Amino acid sequence: MLVGLIVVSSCNDDEKPGSNISFALAEQTVNESAGTVDVTVVLDRPLDEPIDLFYKLSGTADVYDPFEGGDYFIPTGNYISIGPGTTQAKITIKLVEDYDFEVSDDFDFENPVEEDMIETIVITLVSVIEGTSKVTGQTEFTLKIKEDDTVIFLLWDPGTGKTANMDMFLWIDDDNDEIFDLYDGSIGNNAQEAVLIPGGLNIPKFGLSAVYKTGDSDNLQFQTLFFNFGGTVNGTSGPVAFDGTYTLANLNDWESETGQLPKIIQTFDKNNLNYTNVSQIHIPDAGSRMKTYLRNFDRSAIKGLGKRAIELK
């Protein structure tokens, strides 16, 4: 006797298995001035259907707010769509040049540790909203954003028993026409001044003023000290110093009726994150100036960075 055996499957023979979704990398480090960063999400096999994926954001960096500011924003929010037939998609992060020097409280200018200069964006894949895929494997990605600004200090020593107060001004020549506009200044401190140049600032030429504003020292030794955390200064990484000495002939109380406007004693060029052609400090016979450049002196440009928590430890 022949017995016919019929096997009935409850599965749809045309049904295809889902795919697994994860990040291509666990972490990446970029400079703050990088602008746009693409983070890749991968599928282990393409599907015939679109996939909508939800992720959450955390980390020490702040999401940009038009009223409060911040460090980054993601145009797609907390969702990403992956089209049919593809095996990857990108989460686009827009970094914001916030023109602030953001480091940890433990940061030491003369002994910098990279971790003290890092902010983070952590993206965690949470769930698939639409589609047959599942989140598995490398579900967390960390973007490390490294501070790449430059801070320039003005330090001085009037000598034993003498006094001096100096002011510092940063000028920009944004179209290389030898006409400088006041970009920033640091005034009123007793032992040092400081100005900041954001890594993402696309200006080709700069000038510095170091003004001997008040005092009685006839041997005022001073120094401009460059800390470039994203590149080099005249080809050198690490702090680079330039020295000068003023006498009483160089006094210039620029705020008084008889004082001269701050003038430029040092110039340099910016090429991406590197500074080149940084001149030595030129000491004139009289006044705190090297030579007369055409200048637009707008006091509202003075942000007073030297009054904030930028201190040379």
Q: Where do the domains of the chain lie?
A: 20-146, 150-307
Burial 139-162 (b: 16+ CB within 10 A, else e): eebbbbbbbbbbbbbbbbebeeee
Q: Which CATH number fits domain 150-307: 2.60.60, 2.60.40, 3.40.50, 1.10.3470?
A: 2.60.60
| Residue range 133-152: mean pLDDT, rounded | 95
Q: What is the pLDDT of residue 303?
A: 57
Q: Is the pLDDT of residue 299 over 70?
A: no
Pairing mode of beta strands 79-82, 51-58: antiparallel
Percent of residues, the chain, with pLDDT higher than 70: 85
Q: What is the pLDDT of residue 295?
A: 53
With cut-offs at 50, 70 and 90, classify the pLDDT of residue 291: very low
| pLDDT per residue as tens digits for the range 242-262 | 999 999 999 999 888 888 888
- Between 180 and 1, name the one with better pLDDT: 180
Q: Which residues contact 98 (CB under 8 A, 6 or more apart)?
A: 32, 69, 70, 71
User: Secondary structure of the chain in the HEC alphabet?
Assistant: CCCCCCCCCCCCCCCCCCCEEEECCCEEEEEHHHCEEEEEEEECCCCCCCEEEEEEEECCCCECECCCECCEECCCCCEEEECCCCCEEEEEEEECCCCCCCCCCCCCCCCCCHHHHEEEEEEEEEEEEECCCEECCCCEEEEEEECCCEEEEEEEECCCCCCEEEEEEEEEECCCCCEEEEEEEECCCCCEEEEEECCCCCCCEEEEEEEEEEECCCCEEEEEEEEECCCCECCECCCEEEEEEECHHHECCCCCCCCCCCCECEEEEEECCEEECCCCCCCCCCCCCCECCEEECCHHHCCCHHHCCCCCC
Q: Is the pLDDT of residue 188 over 90?
A: no
| pLDDT per residue as tens digits for the range 147-156 | 999 999 999 9
| pLDDT per residue as tens digits for the range 30-66 | 999 999 999 999 999 888 889 999 999 999 999 998 8
| Residue range 138-143: mean pLDDT, rounded | 98
Q: What is the pLDDT of residue 283?
A: 84
Least confident range from 81-95, 100-114, 131-145: namely 100-114
Q: Is the pLDDT of residue 289 over 50?
A: no
| pLDDT per residue as tens digits for the range 191-225 | 889 999 999 999 999 999 999 999 999 999 999 99
Considering the domain 20-146 in this protein, what is its CATH number?
2.60.40.2030
Q: What is the pLDDT of residue 15?
A: 55
Q: What is the pLDDT of residue 28?
A: 98
Torsions phi, psi of 19, nearest 5?
Answer: -115, 165
With cut-offs at 50, 70 and 90, classify the pLDDT of residue 297: low
Which of 59, 274, 267 minimizes the C-alpha distance to 150? 274
| Residue range 130-144: mean pLDDT, rounded | 93
With cut-offs at 50, 70 and 90, classify the pLDDT of residue 302: low
Q: Is the pLDDT of residue 290 over 50?
A: no
Q: What is the pLDDT of residue 66?
A: 87
Percent of residues, the chain, with pLDDT higher than 90: 61
Q: What is the pLDDT of residue 6?
A: 45
Give ∠ CA 223-227-230 in degrees, rounded to 5.
155
Q: What is the pLDDT of residue 11?
A: 47
